Chain A
């Protein structure tokens, strides 16, 4: 039999190749054919069985034959009562997990009555300023029975404290509280840009939360290490893989240095990937990520508990891939991305709605997005076999390549002294800006195509709807917050905040003092102000 090289020279080159660049969305050049020559690794060492090291083929032994992935759609808007009604509706429809979106002031550590909150209260998520809002949000919802995901980062410590105090007020012991808080600060400096203080104290707070949850709320996932925002900011798939895993390594390193046993906390770390449009690249990315994490946890940190080595992940289809032009096409994009997520073995998924680039999604669009997952689960048959694309020469070659390229980035970051140092010098930020710029150029030059945008476009009216701010809603929340601040015991608040400030300085775990502060009606803005005063405010270096 010919070698692949001989086939390329003698046979393939006789044919015609269109004069285009055959590369992935992230611009990895792809060969015309992959054969056993391209798949070098030993099967047992690189692939193995699902549920076994290095988990390339899946973290669980039975995967979707045992349990389908969780279809977890993200929601939140207006005042706490509004989101509470939506939550109770979702629960009555059989959903068993909630996923909370907070508004920008809450996410950035400002109270609803702060000057910088004007026009933003309850706009892109629910407004939570104090424990009273958290109580309204979970009114008549049994915290001991639902798992709640909270997408919040720089003010996560306060929101987690409010959630736990609310559990306590419902009579639910902390050991029974389950859920996930995003709380991945490193990716904030790299990509999403929601921060209060500089990276080092931010990681200290994250480490406090990992330590606290491990000891006090062991069913809670204290960090969801997120590639999603890194990719949406313009990173390539390899950069998403590399920077996310490097972020994870930084959290593990810090927790170990704190004196925690890796096998005690690592099983509660989870991940969050973006699923973009390049089908094979995304499947390879998910597989490579599992193998990298398993190897790094075992080799670098000496993890022994298999659960410490398993990369369990949530995924969301790529918001950035949706187009305002010919928006119905987005249904197709989301379906293909979601299929890649499933073939890549994710544990839970959010599918975007077709109209999200234009405004908050309509109910009909949300329904289609959820149905897309159900069709994949129940009609396509892809769930029958675990890792059905495993063994494909193309998939395995791409998986190996992404792992190798991502490990090269991790080696560079290690050389710089780890992710905190890399962020200080703007390394991941610049790499992403460079990739985003290159992709934009490729779009403008027609090297890359977005259907309906730079090819196959049609004359059409694009109905850009700007979400109208409900002034009345904002005013109601502001008045409510002001009234609460007038009526609470201000001496108790001052004392509780002083204790938080003291913990910031003396290094004791911040979570107990923060729980006390929220019990005494201290607000997200007031506790964030303590961070601002004690740790300083991070300013965007504006790398370009």
Chain B
């Protein structure tokens, strides 16, 4: 049986319009063979969790450059769990200090990529770490 293609939601929370990185990652993941859904800008955690459930994705990648990562990541995880989708892998990237990245991983964020991470690193991480949901 052919392996199911992984579905990834790339999401951009917050009021800012810095979507250059999110779009590059979405494109790289798509070229890497995944099914990619990009939310577009200005999403709230509620909208992101809802889209993840609606689209039945295996992972959610958040792009956060506003400095609000310590509230947005846990909020998305909480809402996913509330909607019975706590097994969706949440990862992300942006301008995130090392010490915050450590704390985020303790809160259940699977991977945090900071400026300088290559698109290849990210595609490789998804390939090796994200599994289709049951």
Residues of A in contact with B (beta carbons under 8 Å apart): 104-105, 108, 116, 119-120, 188, 191-194, 232-234, 324-325, 433, 436-437, 440-441, 444, 453, 464-467, 539-544
Contact = CB atoms under 8 A, between A and B. Distances in A.
Nearest to B67: A466
A542 B40 contact: yes
Interface residues of B, number: 33
Contacts of A233: 19-20
A104 B114 CA distance: 23
Contacts of A444: 118-120
B38 A104 contact: no
Contact of B15 (A104, A191, A232, A465): A104
B24 interface: yes
A464 B97 CA distance: 6
A411 to B, nearest CB: 26
Nearest to A436: B20
Contacts of B100: 466
B96 A440 contact: no
A104 B65 CA distance: 13
Q: Kindly name the residue among A232, A440, A465 whose own CB sees the greatest number of chain B CB atoms within 10 A.
A: A440
Interface in B28-80: 28, 30, 36, 38-42, 44, 66-68, 71
Contacts of A192: 17
B87 interface: no
Contacts of B115: 324
B91 to A, nearest CB: 18
Interface in B78-116: 95-98, 100, 114-116
B19 A437 contact: no
Interface of B: 15-17, 19-20, 23-24, 26-28, 30, 36, 38-42, 44, 66-68, 71, 95-98, 100, 114-116, 118-120
B122 to A, nearest CB: 11
Given A193-B42, A440-B119, A540-B41, 17 more contacts: A104-B15, A108-B15, A116-B15, A116-B44, A194-B17, A232-B20, A233-B20, A324-B115, A325-B116, A433-B27, A436-B20, A436-B23, A437-B28, A444-B120, A464-B97, A466-B95, A544-B36
A188 B41 CA distance: 12
Contacts of A193: 17, 19, 41-42
15 contacts: A105-B15, A116-B15, A116-B44, A120-B66, A188-B17, A433-B23, A433-B24, A436-B23, A437-B24, A440-B119, A464-B96, A541-B40, A542-B39, A543-B23, A544-B27
Nearest to A464: B97
Contacts of B15: 104-105, 108, 116, 120
Nearest to B15: A104
A437 B27 contact: yes
Nearest to B114: A464
A542 B38 CA distance: 6
A43 B97 CA distance: 55
Contact of B30 (A116, A120, A541, A544): A544
B128 to A, nearest CB: 19
B56 to A, nearest CB: 18
A177 B42 CA distance: 35
A117 B119 CA distance: 32
Which of B15, B27, B116 lies at the interface centre, i.e. has the most chain A CB atoms within 10 A of its CB?
B15
Given A192-B17, A464-B96, A440 B24 contact: yes
Contacts of B114: 464
Which of A108, A441, A541, A543 has the largest number of chain B CB atoms within 10 A?
Answer: A441
Shortest 10 CB-CB contacts between residues of A and residues of B? A193-B17, A542-B40, A540-B40, A540-B41, A466-B67, A464-B97, A542-B38, A544-B26, A104-B15, A444-B118
B75 to A, nearest CB: 12
B92 to A, nearest CB: 15
B130 to A, nearest CB: 19
Residue among A465, A466, A544 with the most chain B CB within 10 A? A544
A156 B78 CA distance: 37
Contacts of B19: 193, 233, 540
A436 B97 CA distance: 25
A232 B16 CA distance: 14
